[in-house]
Amino acid sequence: MDHRSLLRALRDAASLINSSGDLDTMLRHLVYAACHHGTWAMGAVMAIDRDNGYAHVLARHDPNLIPNRLENRWALATSPALVALTRNEPVVIADALASEEFPGYRQEAHQRGYRTVVVLPMGCCDESGRPMVLTAQSRSVVEVTEEDLAFLGTIVHLGAIAVDKAHRLRAEHQAAERLQSVLAVNASLMEQVLADGDVASAAAMIGEVFPDPIAVVDLTANLVVAGRSPRPETLDDAAWQAAARSTLGRPLVRAARAAVDLPRDEPWDLLLEHGAGRFKVAARIEPLVIDREAVGALMVFPRSNAVGDLDHLLLDSAKFALSVQLMRGFIRFRAEAQTLTDLVSEIVEQRWRDPADIAARALRLGFDLAMPARLVAVGLPGPRRPGVAAGIDLLRSVARIAQEQHAGAVSVALDDLVLCRLPAEGDSEEPARKLMRRIAEEARLVLDDTPILVASKLCAGLADHPAAWAQCRRMIDLARRFKRRGVLTAQEFGPFPVLLSAADTEEVQGFVDGAIGAVARHDRKHGTAYVETLSRYLDQGCRTQACADAMGLHVTTLRYRLARIQELFGIELNTPERRFSLELAIRLHAMVRDRAARD
């Protein structure tokens, strides 16, 4: 072929290859151009799948093609394609009918009637990322010259340029489609927010367009809305969604709370347990925060580390929409809770003037004061922590559980406690115990601690509520004093609730002052610990060695301290009656002191 013919052939080949943006069509044009302007009767483009050990035919040119008679994949072990790729240079088979190195080609050469074969690496990949090669075959044995290889190499190079262009066009088209999809979802999310839609609908909308599986955690209600499964080989989508509503809900909510407290850019490794097995998933946890209030979290379970700009745009839009929806419910609940709190506070503190007015206001807020009820109080065993113990999270959880048990139940936050008024349809305490057990289980998730839960006696009418509230407060105080937690009753504290209720009377104060008043004043003035020493000594059954060990003192030091107490205050511990009287005075003194410090 002279230079003019060669240039014309290359021009025609370039035009043909560039005539289509579709990759499949372009590959067919590439094979046709290589065969039509050369000495080759047929050819093909193959993709090399190294992982599975096969070469797959993507495009063919054969004027004498017999349908349904040809192999569309070759084992790499019998194909020169892998050799061409490995060496990155053409492989020439002078006569395929006589080839011993590639028996697969020799067999097909008999079937299709070709002889000389050239295999060239194309230096580009198909849509699946598999490298491609071009093969060309002749009907007769021909001598493959350097000019022939140069011509085929130029055709292959033009094809590689066109393939890269097709990949870019495809990527741009996909990006444009994704941008349109993201914009459409963004608009739909805004409509959802304005229309006061629910979180589940917004989560489903986000999950459809986001490339990775997601889950939305509502921290105001301790609920999880899950989408596609991050581990489909372990749990399919339906099983994952059901598990997120039940067994997996707690660990997911706990992880969301941890991410709110300690936000970080790296994914969290979550170890989840479902059924008989455990599995680990990685999750990027994005807190949903409005006005510095954490109302939830968006969990993204990444399947790859590649996150594009559009993904970030969608993520920001999703976080904003979900935050607004969760915050709307949060604000509505907080406003309703404040109204309830004001009314219940008036009731339990006995600040009302007109019982009929109070009863009417209660009816407007959904509960009937004429109906008998019990008060259930929830508090933490440790020091007061308003952000947790009386926080909105715990209050919402208690309110939701109480409403599920009885539609007329109301819950409010008072001081450092959550107080629930549970209507009672009889004298049985079992409904209140059932409610407390459910609250304890839920509170462990919210607070990561076991709270104190107590119930009052039956309130038959409005006037009974202040005494019931005082009873709950006394039992909470006792539980904190004795380091008790869980569901508790007055019987577990013996006579102390009655004694504490009378702690402010002159008789009890006189008893305490007469028993240990001088000791307590000496401790305050001189910084001694005589009251604590007496308390520990009595707790250890008046055993000197056990008390010394408990206080970290030498037994001689303890004996000297006890002798000093007897010398200064004349306190004797030689009879059971005196020991009981002193222990009772010490406990009453501690209760009064703790209550004064809290108030």
pLDDT digits (tens, 9 = 90+) for 64-76: 765 556 667 778 8
- The whole-number pLDDT of residue 387 equals 44
Which residue would you say has higher pLDDT here, 78 or 226? 226
The rounded distance, in Å, linking the Cα atoms of 302 and 265 is 13
What's the mean pLDDT when you consider all of the chain? 82
- The whole-number pLDDT of residue 434 equals 92
One-letter amino acid for residue 173 of the chain: H
Is the per-residue pLDDT at 502 higher than 60? Answer: no
CA torsion angle 79 85 89 93 (round to 10)? 0
Residues 407 and 460 sit within 8 Å (Cβ to Cβ): no
- Categorize the per-residue pLDDT at 459 as very low, low, confident or very high, splitting at 50, 70 and 90: very high
pTM of the complete model beyond 0.85: no
- 425, two tokens: 């349809």
Q: Give CATH for domain 503-594.
A: 1.10.10.2840
Please state the rounded mean pLDDT for residues 372-391: 69
Please state the rounded mean pLDDT for residues 308-321: 77
Q: In Å, how far are 18, 22, 27, 159, 162 from 15, measured between CA atoms?
A: 5, 14, 13, 11, 11
Please state the rounded mean pLDDT for residues 59-63: 84
Which residues, including other chains, have CB under 8 Å from residue 313's CB and lie 6 or more apart? 182, 186
The rounded distance, in Å, linking the Cα atoms of 230 and 282 is 9
Q: Name the residue among 523, 511, 518, 528 with its Cα closest to residue 592.
A: 511
pLDDT digits (tens, 9 = 90+) for 507-521: 667 778 888 889 899
Please state the rounded mean pLDDT for residues 113-135: 89
Tally of helices (H runs) and strands (E runs) in the chain = 20, 16
Residues 133 and 120 sit within 8 Å (Cβ to Cβ): yes
104-141 per-residue burial string, b: 16 or more CB within 10 A, e: under 16: bbbebbeebebbbbbbbbbbbbbeeebbbbbbbbbeee
DSSP 104-137: HHHHHHHHHT---EEEEEEEEE-TTS-EEEEEEE
Please state the rounded mean pLDDT for residues 58-85: 77
Q: Which of 93-97, 195-199, 401-405 has the lowest mean pLDDT?
A: 195-199
Which CATH number applies to 3-170: 3.30.450.40, 3.40.50.1110, 3.80.10.10, 3.40.50.720?
3.30.450.40
pLDDT digits (tens, 9 = 90+) for 430-445: 999 999 999 998 888 7
Q: How much of the chain, in percent, has pLDDT values that exceed 70?
A: 87
CA torsion angle 394 398 399 402 (round to 10)? 180
Which residues, including other chains, have CB under 8 Å from residue 95's CB and lie 6 or more apart? 115, 116, 141
Do 503-594 and 199-327 fall under one CATH topology? no
- The whole-number pLDDT of residue 390 equals 38
- The whole-number pLDDT of residue 300 equals 92
Q: Which of 171-175, 446-450, 499-503 has the lowest mean pLDDT?
A: 499-503
Q: Looking at domain 352-489, what is its CATH homologous superfamily? A: Reverse transcriptase/Diguanylate cyclase domain (3.30.70.270)
DSSP 455-502: E---B-SGGGHHHHHHHHHHHHHHHHHTT--EEE-GGGGTTHHHHHHT
Q: Which of 107-121, 183-197, 567-581 has the lowest mean pLDDT?
A: 183-197
- C-alpha 204: how far from chain center: 16
Residue ranges covered by each domain of the chain: 3-170, 199-327, 352-489, 503-594
pLDDT digits (tens, 9 = 90+) for 226-256: 999 998 888 899 999 999 888 888 889 888 8
Residues 373 and 423 sit within 8 Å (Cβ to Cβ): yes
Q: Give CATH for domain 199-327.
A: 3.30.450
- The whole-number pLDDT of residue 389 equals 33
